[in-house]
Structure 1
Amino acid sequence: MNTTSETQWHDPKRYLWTLGLLVPLFPIIGAFIYLQTGQIWGWWMAPVIVYFIIPFLDFIVGTDRSNPPESAVPQLEADKYYKYIVYAYIPLQYAGTLITVWFVCTELSALGIIGGLFSCAYVNGIGINTGHELGHKRDALSQFLAKVTLAPVAYGHFYVEHNFGHHRRVATPEDPASSKMGESFWRFLPRTVIGSLRSACEIEQQRLDRKGFGFWTWRNDVLQAWAMTFVLFGACTIAFGWPALAFLVVQALLGASLLEVINYVEHYGLLRQKDEQGRYERCLPKHSWNSNHIVTNLVLYQLQRHSDHHAHPTRAFQALRHFEDSPQLPSGYASMMMLAYFPPLWFKVMNPRVVAHHRGDFNKANVHPSKTEKLRMYFNTFKQGVGA
């Protein structure tokens, strides 16, 4: 009886996953409102939705810890409907980007340009998550489209670094994309940007060396991705002038920072332990912060179920699972990234959770070297409180 019910299992969120396609519509809706009314408020929808409406809906709608039965996973992963949802983001992303560039260069006032800047940056910053989902697929089309998605935000090296660097070194001091306890987001940001760029080039150089090629070849995945950005930015500059290039560069910086603040949240203070041979244990669900808040998960292709993603990187978003032993964020990513912008508040909320997750064992945390003594005392205070 149980086998039959599992075989006939249907995804209750099947059609709700299309909510993620509302994101690339932000600038398109903004343009439509401007054309109809002459008002610029439509260009400001993106930050309002990202920073206020989504966190509010996360709070109201709550969480969902249910998992698809294992017997249904092959069916879920073979269903092309989910792949097409991800693919559909890309033409909408490019349409929104090009529309915004046109309006910024020809129509909008200063306040409208700023709104368009945030709108475009969020579309392309969140678009990195689309590239992330596609980059983990094994087929050539998905991998190519991953680079296409990353081009508007000029972060094509993420395709290499994330898949072959971050996933190998995650939750270790060597990983530039894993934040350390006591490290503020503003200190993490330059470290991860520079470290990830350097890591991507080193990884790709090693891959090409094994194949007998130099770095400067069309086979270089990093250079391929950057070339797409060059073509896109160059074409817009030719069509609309230097203001278009300035706009695209600034929105790319903002969009990339959106990715990195999420990176900051995902592994804060978590550390894989070494065995007797000095090798790190394999990545487990306990090495990534998890969130089951429904609304943000629908918008971000369930990226918040990050614990399962790192334990099983090729698993499709619709099949990702909740694990009881994974550390849980107090809210969804939309709320947590706002908290990360204010380090004192972030430390107040997250440091106790890091200590509790490691059960007061300082040696199990990934701690920033400059904060070692201060945080060691913090851990000791926690243990004394538990003992009392």
Structure 2
Amino acid sequence: MRPSDLRFLLAWLLPLLTIVGIFTHPAQSALLTLAVWWGIALLDAFAPGAQRSPAPMPSGASLVYFQTVLRLYVLLQIALIATGAYAAVHGDWLTVMGVAFSVGFVTGSQGITFAHELGHSKSRVDRFCGWLLMSSVCYGHFMVEHYRGHHPRAATQDDPASARLGESLYRFLPRTLWGSLASGWQLEAQRIAQFKSSWLRSPLAWSALGSLMLFVLPALYLPAHTAIKFIAFFALQSTVAFLLLEVVNYIEHYGLRRSSEGGRREAFGVMHAWNADHVVSNSLLANLQRHSDHHMHAWKPYATLQALPGPQLPTGYAGCLLLAMLPPLWFFLMHKRIAALPDAPARLAVHS
């Protein structure tokens, strides 16, 4: 392991800071989260040298440390949700909403990102951890749709999680939320039929049941006022988390398309995903911003992903989340970049 690889320990810093903030000042936790978010965006954009991450690990190097970072994060997320729930049920309704935002920001930005990475692993332990993280934000269908739906269809019209040229974030969100949900359950039903299995053996069904129990059991066994606050907290943090995921989905393939002449999709290439190599965001998000290489080699562990010279975002994901929320500014910045791509006329023609 190289000294530069210690940067991935930042993955633990954000949940730990959030736990401390909720314990000490629960009513102000949302402000702390906003300060951290905007601080990361500013570091990405303006800190000298922050626009380039260290080189990837060489192939064949030990990856035990990198997997341990992700696996131990799962325990931190459980502690974070428990801390948030305790603060929510003992606070007023503004505290419930603020704490839910703080927890959901972490479970969405990091929890879902790490679940995504763990789900790509060949290890059953890792995949179980991925399911656990996604169940904790009521978005278990991602564990089916992402691998069997999004990866084959990314940057095509068939993919609900790929944003089209000129499509605002607010038009994209309803399409991807419903489309990804429907696709995930349809793909699981097809798998069950293909292998003559049953829903009783479906991890998606058990994930959905587990998420449901986190609403039902408090309603059955906690006092009414406590149960209502817990349920509201859990629903709000889950909503923040999966909305954050879908905003990132919007960013990752916006306006980029693979051709499908003769009904056959063009092979996924470096030009079909937006990339950013900003060191702070990449350290917090397991190199997710090296997105072209991830799609071209979905089996590669995050520490080995390359920074490829494909389409480049104006800044890291932390800043792009803010830009995407302002469609005129987003279109202004991104359409200039699309028009400057080497094969822009051909790519734009795919949208016509």
TM-score, normalising length: structure 2 = 0.92
Distance 2:248 2:211 in 1: 22
Q: Give how far 1:23 is off.
A: 2.2
Task: Tell whether 2:45 aligns with 1:63.
Answer: no
Q: 1:360 to 1:282 in 2, by over 3 A?
A: closer
Please tell me whether the aligned partners of residues 354 and 365 of structure 1 are also in contact (alpha carbons under 8 angstroms).
Answer: no
1:231-310 alignment, distance < 5 Å? 231-237=213-219, 238-239=221-222, 240-275=226-261, 277-310=262-295
Residue type at the aligned position of 1:258? L
Aligned partner (choices 204, 207, 219) of residue 222 of structure 1: 204
In the alignment, structure 1 segments of 5+ residues that lack a partner are 1-9, 373-388
Aligned partner (choices 23, 33, 51) of residue 46 of structure 1: 33
Aligned partner (choices 181, 187, 195) of residue 211 of structure 1: 195
Task: Please list the CA deviations of residues 131-153 of structure 1 after superposition, one character each: whole Å capped at 9, or x if unmatched.
Answer: 10101011111111101001121
Q: Name 2:168's counterpart in structure 1.
A: 184
1:35-114 alignment, distance < 5 Å? 40-50=27-37, 52-59=38-45, 60-61=47-48, 62-64=50-52, 67-68=55-56, 72-75=58-61, 78-106=62-90, 108-114=91-97
Q: Give how far 1:312 is off.
A: 0.5
Task: Tell whether 2:174 aligns with 1:174.
Answer: no
Residue type at the aligned position of 2:100? L
Q: Mean alpha-carbon deviation: is it higher for 83-92 or for 236-245? A: 236-245
Residue type at the aligned position of 1:114? M
What is the total number of aligned residue pairs between the two structures? 345
Please tell me whether the aligned partners of residues 44 and 279 of structure 2 are also in contact (alpha carbons under 8 angstroms).
Answer: yes
Please tell me whether the aligned partners of residues 302 and 317 of structure 1 are also in contact (alpha carbons under 8 angstroms).
Answer: yes
Residue type at the aligned position of 2:236? V
Distance 2:108 2:171 in 1: 20
1:89-168 alignment, distance < 5 Å? 89-106=73-90, 108-126=91-109, 127-168=111-152
Task: Tell whether 2:29 aligns with 1:29.
Answer: no
SS of 1:40's equivalent in the other structure is: helix
Residue type at the aligned position of 2:16? L
Task: Tell whether 2:2 aligns with 1:15.
Answer: no
Identity of aligned residues (%): 35
Distance 1:30 1:234 in 2: 29
Q: Give how far 1:334 is off.
A: 0.5
Q: Which structure has the higher relative contact order (CA within 8 Å, separation 6+)?
A: 2
SS of 1:330's equivalent in the other structure is: coil
Distance 1:365 1:171 in 2: 14
Task: Please list the CA deviations of residues 246-280 of structure 1 after superposition, one character each: whole Å capped at 9, or x if unmatched.
Answer: 221122111111000000000001111235x4311
SS of 1:322's equivalent in the other structure is: coil
Structure showing greater radius of gyration is 1
Distance 1:233 1:148 in 2: 16
Q: CA RMSD in A?
A: 1.8
